[in-house]
């Protein structure tokens, strides 16, 4: 039999009664003097914090990265040195759904990992797709407004979604991925994940290469059809969370093999398209995968709110040996996450245990809401100081990054090397016949409620990616294929004008 522990109020004083309010007489009203009741109600009213603006629904687990190969010629980061074992926390998420959304929706999946390295935290905030929809930060809030709820009806809107996607042709490859069988993974364990952006690595000699991060599932890829997903969502909205939790509880730890792709600065200068455009693929044939190690998840959180809901990741958290790139989309993200977290969790969110670095943190940030760690006591709060307190370390500075050209608002579509349909067409051509058919049926189903102009716009894009892709989508969406071919002859502006 359990021996009950004593209940106290927030100040540690014993609580006499947790069931019966203090009333004036046996059938009378509640009195203000029931301060324990006031405390309970007031706390409850403040328990909800803002959900993440996107990626609101998620599940997390702790794990470790074990480096089994030697990539020290590319990076000096301690977390990536041969034999290094680094503890971590990963949160998986859907993007469009709110905090209570069902897990098995057609969507991309976020995969954010915090590596607690000996040089501070490195956060890799990626997705289960190798590229992204869009490539300019300006479009990001609009993307989310288009895929989330319509301001008039309060409902999700396929019309808004497809209108936005098809007005920006760079979305095409990602649309193809999301509409393919990979759009609804069978579990988080059965999908790959990627850093998506071009990052940089630099070694002890401060020599830089550009790099992409890939994590390939060792459980094998498995996906759900629309029908399977609908049946699961009707029975269990927390299906992916349950799968991850139960696999870890039974000791069936999910694992991924970590790889990098590397491009030298010289290769980047001569690459046939912009290697810093997040909507573009670096083909494996040209930039082969280089194995790094094994990533494993092996421990469930103790408390969902404390560890999963309050987890805060940002691409701005890098460590010496890992850096950014000229990718304009990545540059925008470097601001967005910390800013969102200062609003969502407060200015001291990096002190929350799941976010806190495992190494000593010596900073001059002070005060702010929920500063509960002693606030560095009597140490100086300014720098430079004569007291010997914390100074910057120039030896960890990133090598200088050469930049070319004048400051301007460049539209990548004006770049003659820009091809928004190459990656989507290449993907179409490697799909097996059953996967092609699924892609066509999923797309036709998803776009069915949209107006014809949008269907034609997408059909023209499909045709530009591959004539067979265009023909089969046109047939499935019951469009006039001759008209699709005519539309595909127009340039971007002409196609928009013809389908607006
Ligand atoms: C300019 C483009 C982007 C902006 C401005 C942006 C902004 C944000 C913001 C504000 C959040 C919520 C953060 C929080 O409240 O803790 C978020 C979450 C997230 N974003 Fe992005 N994002 C962008 C692009 C991307 C891309 C390209 C990826 C993948 C490569 C990505 C992956 C994620 C993930 C995985 C989360 C959830 C993190 C978690 O589990 O806590 N985002 N994003």
* 330 conformational bin, left if phi > 0, alpha if psi -120 to 50, beta if neither: alpha
Of 67, 81, 359, 357, the closest CA to residue 204 belongs to 81
For residue 375, pLDDT over 80 is answered with: yes
Task: For the chain, count helices (H), then strands (E).
Answer: 14, 10
The whole-number pLDDT of residue 2 equals 83
- Residue 1 confidence (pLDDT) above 80: no
Share of the chain above pLDDT 70, in %: 100
pLDDT at 312: 98
Q: How much is the average pLDDT of 432-439?
A: 98
Q: Which atom from ligand 1 is nearest to the alpha carbon of 278?
A: 27
Per-residue pLDDT of 293-308, as tens digits, reads 999 999 999 999 999 9
**Average per-residue pLDDT for the chain:** 97
Cβ proximity of 279 and 298 under 8 Å:
no
Q: Is 196 exposed, middle or buried (0-12, 13-18, 19+ CB in 10 A)?
A: buried
Task: Reply yes or no on whether 18 is catalytic.
Answer: no
Instruction: Please say if the pLDDT value at position 334 is more than 80.
Output: yes
- Rounded to two decimals, what is the model's pTM? 0.97
In the numeric block, the tokens 């943190």 are attached to 361
pLDDT at residue 85 greater than cutoff 90:
yes
Provide the pLDDT for residue 458.
98
**pLDDT tens track for 146-163:** 999 999 999 999 999 999
**CA atoms of 326 and 275, how far apart (whole Å):** 10
Output the pLDDT for position 142.
Answer: 98
pLDDT at 382 (0 to 100): 97
Mutation choice for ligand 1 from 98, 305, 336, 346, CB with most ligand atoms inside 8 A = 336
Per-residue pLDDT at 272 exceeds 90:
yes
Give first-to-last CA distance, the chain, whole Å. Answer: 71
* Residues near ligand 1 (Cβ within 6 A): 52-55, 58, 91, 93, 110, 112, 125-127, 132, 137, 140, 196, 311-313, 329, 332-333, 336-337, 340-341, 344
Q: What is the mean pLDDT of residues 229-239?
A: 98
Output the CA angle 399-122-204, nearest 5 degrees. 35
Catalytic (active site) residue 127: yes
**How confident is residue 282, by pLDDT bands cut at 50, 70 and 90?**
very high
Q: Domains of the chain, with CATH numbers?
A: 1-47 (4.10.91.20), 58-128+185-351 (2.40.180.10), 157-182+419-500 (1.20.1370.60)
483: preceding bond cis by omega (within 30 degrees): no
Distance CA 498, CA 500 (A): 6
CA distance 83 to 66: 7
């Amino acid at each position: 039999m359990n021996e009950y522990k004593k209940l106290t109020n927030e100040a540690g004083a014993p609580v006499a009664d947790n069931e019966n309010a203090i009333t004036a007489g046996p059938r009378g009203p509640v009195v203000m003097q029931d301060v324990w009741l006031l405390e309970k109600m007031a706390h409850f009213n403040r328990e909800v914090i803002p959900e993440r603006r996107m990626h609101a629904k998620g599940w997390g687990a702790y794990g470790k990265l074990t480096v089994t190969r030697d990539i020290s010629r590319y990076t000096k980061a301690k977390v990536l040195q041969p034999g290094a074992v680094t503890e971590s926390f990963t949160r998986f998420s859907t993007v469009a759904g709110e905090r209570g959304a069902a897990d098995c929706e057609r969507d991309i999946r976020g995969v954010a990992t915090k590596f607690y390295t000996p040089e501070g935290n490195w956060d890799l905030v990626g997705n289960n797709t190798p590229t992204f929809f869009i490539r300019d930060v300006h479009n990001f809030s609009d993307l989310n407004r288009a895929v989330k709820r319509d301001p008039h009806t309060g409902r999700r809107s396929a019309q808004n979604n497809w209108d936005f996607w098809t007005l920006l042709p760079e979305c095409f490859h990602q649309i193809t991925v999301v509409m393919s069988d990979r759009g609804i993974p069978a579990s988080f364990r059965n999908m790959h994940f990627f850093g998506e952006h071009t990052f940089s690595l630099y070694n002890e000699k401060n020599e830089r290469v550009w790099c992409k991060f890939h994590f390939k599932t060792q459980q094998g890829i498995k996906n759900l059809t629309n029908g399977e997903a609908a049946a699961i969502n009707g029975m269990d909205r927390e299906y992916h969370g349950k799968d991850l939790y139960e696999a870890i509880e039974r000791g069936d730890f999910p694992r991924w093999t970590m790889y990098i792709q590397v491009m030298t600065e010289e290769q980047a200068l001569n690459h046939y398209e912009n290697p810093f455009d997040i909507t573009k693929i670096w083909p494996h044939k040209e930039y082969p995968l280089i194995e790094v190690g094994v990533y494993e998840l092996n421990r469930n959180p103790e408390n969902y709110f404390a560890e999963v809901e309050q987890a805060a990741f940002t691409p701005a958290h890098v460590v010496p040996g890992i850096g950014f790139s000229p990718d304009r989309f990545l540059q925008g993200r470097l601001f967005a996450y910390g800013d969102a977290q200062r609003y969502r969790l407060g200015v001291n969110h990096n002190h929350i245990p799941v976010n806190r670095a495992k190494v000593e943190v010596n900073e001059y940030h002070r005060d702010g809401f929920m500063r509960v760690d002693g606030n560095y006591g009597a140490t100086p709060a300014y720098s430079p100081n004569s007291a010997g307190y914390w100074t910057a370390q120039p030896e960890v500075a990133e090598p200088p990054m050469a930049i070319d050209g004048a400051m301007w608002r460049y539209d990548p579509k004006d770049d003659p090397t820009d091809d928004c349909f190459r990656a989507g067409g290449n993907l179409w051509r490697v799909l097996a016949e059953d996967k092609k058919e699924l892609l066509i049926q999923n797309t036709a189903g998803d776009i069915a409620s949209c107006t014809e102009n949008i269907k034609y716009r997408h059909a023209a894009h499909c045709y530009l990616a591959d004539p067979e892709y265009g023909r089969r989508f046109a047939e499935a969406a019951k469009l006039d294929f001759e008209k699709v071919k005519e539309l595909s002859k127009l340039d971007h502006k002409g196609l928009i004008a013809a389908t607006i």
